[in-house]
Structure 1
Amino acid sequence: MSDFRSRSKPPRIGASRVGAPTAALEAALGGTSADPIRRAMWLDALDRRLVPLLPPTLAPHARLANVDGSRLVFLVDSPIWHARLRLSADVLLDAARSIGLDVSDIVVRTSTRPLRPEVDAGRARTTPPSPVARAALKAALASLQSGEDGDERK
């Protein structure tokens, strides 16, 4: 990420680079219709550079959404993180300037949707059973086992 300026176009992704994109991505990045895709990839790369600089408790709750003129626009997933991100504004602005962005302010928006899509959304999420649930399950299994013992005597 060399000299990035706000409102500048993200760098073009060339097919001759090591680890070149697949044919489908090359087709998607061809022509002027690819500008939104390039911008999204550029913003994602910036997000990956800036968010790790946040405190570890805040980082999972914040995401870079846009570079709008001289402003970095971040999304957070609740109002409490909004206030905490504002406290980290100086660190983010300094980091953004160090990679060539001409920014002077941070805007924080609160989102009602998850900031990052779940990687394994197809799998059901389970939580471990509580001690009460475990005890109830053991009691139910014990009653079934004692019931089976009674069936064997018949």
Structure 2
Amino acid sequence: MSDSRSPRRPPAPKAALDALLADPAGNPIRRAVWLEELDRRLRPHLPPSLAAHAQLANVERGRLVFVVDAPVWRTKLRFAAPEILDAARSIGLDAVELVVKTALAPMALQPQDRRTQPPISEAAQRELRAALASLEAPVPCGSDDAA
């Protein structure tokens, strides 16, 4: 016989994302997470100058669809298509074609891997430090000079 005086513990709440993904309505979210992971895995295979300007947007029927933020990057990505398709096949995708679309609006900035960012010169670093220091310097009050 169970003790009816002991309080029942409520079930542990699921994390919001876990609950949403468990629901059939979570399919678009699962797909977005999957595409983001594929983009992360394919990004190192893009030419370094191009990585900040292109994003994997879709994969369907053997086609990789990338979006770029300017026509010049579209051309550069199309030249890199054979290497990108090989990389996609190496991670298990049945990739046979690369489609590149140009965004009409600026794309959201992606956090970039340090290896894809151009290095900043020592002179530029010195100037940035000097500019930051000038912002932190106290501003003299002009009321004492009026006397």
Q: TM-score, normalising length from structure 1?
A: 0.62
Deviation at 1:56, TM superposition (A): 1.3
Alpha-carbon distance in structure 2 between the residues aligned to 1:115 and 1:48 = 16
- For the residue of structure 2 that corresponds to 1:91, the secondary structure is helix
- How many residues align? The count is 109
Alpha-carbon distance in structure 1 between the residues aligned to 2:45 and 2:53 = 13
- Residue 103 of structure 2 corresponds to 111
- Residue 34 of structure 1 corresponds to 26
Q: Percent identity?
A: 51
- Structure 1 unpaired stretches of 5+: 1-21, 120-127, 129-140
Matched, 1:84 2:76: yes
- Residue 38 of structure 2 corresponds to 46
Greater relative CO, 1 or 2 (CA 8 Å, sep 6+): 1
Alpha-carbon distance in structure 2 between the residues aligned to 1:56 and 1:93 = 17
Residues 20-42 of structure 1 show CA distances to partners (whole Å, capped at 9, x for unaligned) of xx610111101321111111100
Q: TM-score, normalising length from structure 2?
A: 0.65
User: What's the RMSD between the two structures over aligned residues?
Assistant: 2.5
Letter matched to residue 48 of structure 1: R
> Within 5 Å, which residues of 2 pair with 1:62-81?
62-81=54-73
Alpha-carbon distance in structure 2 between the residues aligned to 1:27 and 1:77 = 35
- Residue 7 of structure 1 corresponds to none
- Structure 2 unpaired stretches of 5+: 1-13, 112-127, 129-138
Structure 1 outlier segments of 4+, above 2 Å: 112-119
Deviation at 1:148, TM superposition (A): 5.5
- Residue 124 of structure 1 corresponds to none
